[in-house]
């Protein structure tokens, strides 16, 4: 095949278009508002495991629409979703691309358990109905002990790949991996889940943290971890923190890798076969 030609076939791209249409119909039926937020903005996430693509003089290509959608929710928006491009530096491979399509949505007055049910409904609509199993994080990786984060992340990824074919919700992440999820009543685990389908990590969701002081504390801890890894410090997004002070309503949110879902729907093994072109 010549380099100018698309990676996916026309038939595969037609199937992708049908999946996009079906996803939008799913949310329209539930009166979930579609929004469009910036893909280029002044600030970016602090999370040490996510590296942003900087655009000098302009800011950063956004790794997800999370901060902007939460600002909309704090301003009174209803449950909403975004389906569009996101960007992450250094992510290239069978399941990764620096530019990818993310489906992210937030449901008012949902906790993570209700959101898991809705994620399953969406996946069933797009991939066909199948049963789901639930495992805790420690069920998957074993006792945490004093293993460092890098070792746990590798153990988690390998354990996901070893899971039998099927659909698995992974729950009860350790509190140190809460990201922007609130903690469970035990204080040791986070109200966070991940959906793994046929060994592919597909969606990551939280019962969202609403405490503005805890947001700031976690961002500071992220920058501390960045310093330990010799990664650049990230300036805090004060507009986002001001929105949290104004009040994020009780909600749960989830981000789903749409290209990976298309790959699963097509029955192919490489993300390239779900994309028209790769940027690199």
* Residue 255, domain CATH: 3.30.930.10
Query: For residue 128, what are the domain limits?
Result: 10-274
Would you tell me how many other CB atoms lie within 10 Å of the CB of residue 66?
Answer: 23
Say if 280 falls within a structural domain.
Answer: no
Which pLDDT belongs to residue 183? Answer: 98
How many structural domains is the chain composed of?
A: 1
Q: What is the pTM of this model?
A: 0.96
H or E element, residue 207: strand 200-207
Contacts of 52 (CB under 8 A, 6+ apart): 44, 45, 60, 61, 62, 63, 87, 88, 89, 234
Residue 144 domain-assigned (yes or no): yes
- Burial string for 78-95 (b: 16+ CB within 10 Å, else e) reads ebbbbbbebbbeebeeeb
Is residue 279, in this structure, part of any structural domain at all?
A: no
- Supply the pLDDT for residue 97: 94
Q: Which pLDDT tens digits describe the chain residue by residue (280 residues)?
A: 468 999 999 999 999 999 999 999 999 999 999 999 999 999 999 999 999 999 999 999 999 999 999 999 999 999 999 999 999 998 788 999 999 999 999 999 999 999 999 999 999 999 999 999 999 999 999 988 888 888 998 899 899 888 889 999 999 999 999 999 999 999 999 999 999 999 999 999 999 999 999 999 999 999 999 999 999 999 999 999 999 999 999 999 999 999 999 999 999 999 989 999 987 5
Tokens 């002990």 belong to which residue? 145
Query: Would residue 5 count as lying in a domain?
Result: no
Asked whether residue 4 is assigned to any structural domain, the reply reads no
Tell me if 118 is assigned to some domain: yes
Q: Is residue 154 part of a domain?
A: yes
User: Residue 3 domain-assigned?
Assistant: no
């Amino acid at each position: 095949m010549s380099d100018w030609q698309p990676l996916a076939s026309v038939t595969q791209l037609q199937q992708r278009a049908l999946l996009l249409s079906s996803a939008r119909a799913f949310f329209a039926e539930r009166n979930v508002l579609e929004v469009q937020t910036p893909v280029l903005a002044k600030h970016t996430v602090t999370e040490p495991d996510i590296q942003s693509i900087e655009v000098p003089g302009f800011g950063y290509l956004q790794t997800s629409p999370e901060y902007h959608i939460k600002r909309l929710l704090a301003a009174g928006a209803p449950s909403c979703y975004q389906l569009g491009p996101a960007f992450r530096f250094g992510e290239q491979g069978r399941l990764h691309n620096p530019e990818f399509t993310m489906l992210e949505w937030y449901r008012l007055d949902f906790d993570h358990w209700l959101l898991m049910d809705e994620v399953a409904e969406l996946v069933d609509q797009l991939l066909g109905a199948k049963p789901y199993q639930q495992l805790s994080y420690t069920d998957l990786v074993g006792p945490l002990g004093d293993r460092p984060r890098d070792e746990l992340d590798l153990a988690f990824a390998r354990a996901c790949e070893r899971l039998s074919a099927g659909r698995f919700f992974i729950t009860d992440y350790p509190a140190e991996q809460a990201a922007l999820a609130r903690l469970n009543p035990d204080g040791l685990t986070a109200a966070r889940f991940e959906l793994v389908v046929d060994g592919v990590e597909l969606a990551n969701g939280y019962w969202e943290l609403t405490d503005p002081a805890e947001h700031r504390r976690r961002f500071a801890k992220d920058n501390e971890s960045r310093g330990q890894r010799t990664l650049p410090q990230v300036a805090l997004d004060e507009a986002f923190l001001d929105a949290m002070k104004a009040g994020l309503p009780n909600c749960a949110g989830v981000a789903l890798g749409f290209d990976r879902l298309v790959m699963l729907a097509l029955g192919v093994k490489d993300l390239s076969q779900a994309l028209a072109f790769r940027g690199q």
